[in-house]
């Protein structure tokens, strides 16, 4: 088979840049066997070889993760629809209030891979802990709490307060975030125990929560 100079030169150039045969095929309309024959004598640097080995090793794993994520999102939507249909039943009030509170105050971007809810109101924090425990059945060892408080506040006292309220042991607390408040700030007077952040590192639960908000929104305010 005669070489097509334009395609051949481009293939050689891409290979010298460290492209794999499959990556080169995305740019050139030729057979893989042709790419292999053209490029097999092109030397690669150690770094380029390591990249190709790592890429080959990780490809099945990455595909598996993508399939798992798609399956998880579908399961989350089915679960969310079932849960929203329970709103008129026994657990409906807690479910509805939890959805609305998280919708307003929680982290909803799945790229963060964790459920995060922040508030200063102890009643709201108590409701959300009940929501996570009774609706989502979060295992106790999955809860993480972080206190955010002004530099003049008492971190130890604040952590004791939120630990008692949430029933999460202090060994599961993340390092407190110290806030540099303005001199005339009244934040500590209004909230002497600072801000409580509930964190749950579980991407599948986050997907369910996002799906739950979506289903609830459709029921409450369907798009015309």
For residue range 111-142, what is the model confidence (pLDDT) as tens digits?
668 999 999 999 999 999 999 999 999 999 99
Classify residue 13 as left (phi > 0), alpha (psi -120 to 50) or beta.
alpha
**Torsion from C-alpha of 212, 214, 217, 222, nearest 10 degrees:** -140
Residue 110's CB is within 10 A of a number of other CB atoms, namely 14
**Torsion from C-alpha of 3, 5, 8, 12, nearest 10 degrees:** 140
Percent of the chain whose predicted confidence (pLDDT) is above 70: 90
Q: Is the pLDDT of residue 101 over 80?
A: yes
Q: Give, as one character, the DSSP assignment of residue 176.
A: P
Largest CA distance in the chain: 83
Check if the beta carbon of residue 144 is closer than 8 Å to that of residue 217. no
Q: Is the pLDDT of residue 1 over 70?
A: no
Q: Is the pLDDT of residue 109 over 80?
A: no
Q: Is the pLDDT of residue 195 over 60?
A: yes
Cα 104 from Cα 117, distance rounded (Å):
10
Give the per-residue pLDDT at 89: 64
**Mean pLDDT lowest among 15-29, 136-150, 157-171:** 15-29
Q: Evaluate if pTM is beyond 0.85.
A: no
Alpha helices (runs of H) in the chain, residue ranges in sequence order: 5-16, 21-25, 32-39, 46-84, 92-105, 122-134, 155-166, 187-190, 203-220
Q: Give, as one character, the DSSP assignment of residue 84.
A: H
Check if the beta carbon of residue 181 is closer than 8 Å to that of residue 187. yes
Query: Of residues 4 and 201, which shows the higher confidence score?
Result: 201
């Amino acid at each position: 088979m005669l070489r097509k100079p334009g395609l051949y030169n481009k293939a050689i150039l891409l290979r010298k840049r460290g492209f794999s045969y499959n990556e080169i095929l995305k740019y050139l309309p030729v057979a893989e066997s042709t790419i292999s024959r053209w490029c097999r004598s092109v030397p690669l640097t150690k770094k380029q070889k390591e990249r190709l080995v790592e890429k080959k090793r990780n490809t099945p794993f990455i595909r598996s993760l993508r399939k798992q994520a798609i399956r998880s999102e579908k399961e989350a939507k089915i679960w969310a629809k079932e849960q929203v249909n329970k709103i008129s039943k026994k657990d409906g009030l807690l479910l509805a209030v939890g959805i609305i509170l998280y919708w307003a105050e929680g982290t909803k971007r799945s790229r963060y891979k964790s459920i995060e809810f922040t508030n200063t109101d102890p009643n709201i924090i108590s409701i959300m802990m009940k929501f996570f425990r009774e609706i989502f059945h979060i295992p106790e060892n999955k809860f993480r709490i972080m206190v955010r408080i002004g530099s003049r506040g008492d971190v130890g006292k604040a952590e004791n307060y939120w630990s008692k309220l949430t029933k999460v042991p202090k060994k599961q607390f993340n390092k407190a975030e110290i806030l540099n408040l303005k001199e005339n700030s009244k934040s500590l007077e209004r909230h002497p125990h600072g801000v409580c952040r509930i964190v749950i590192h579980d991407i599948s639960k986050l997907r369910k929560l996002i799906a739950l908000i979506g289903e609830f929104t459709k029921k409450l305010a369907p798009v015309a």
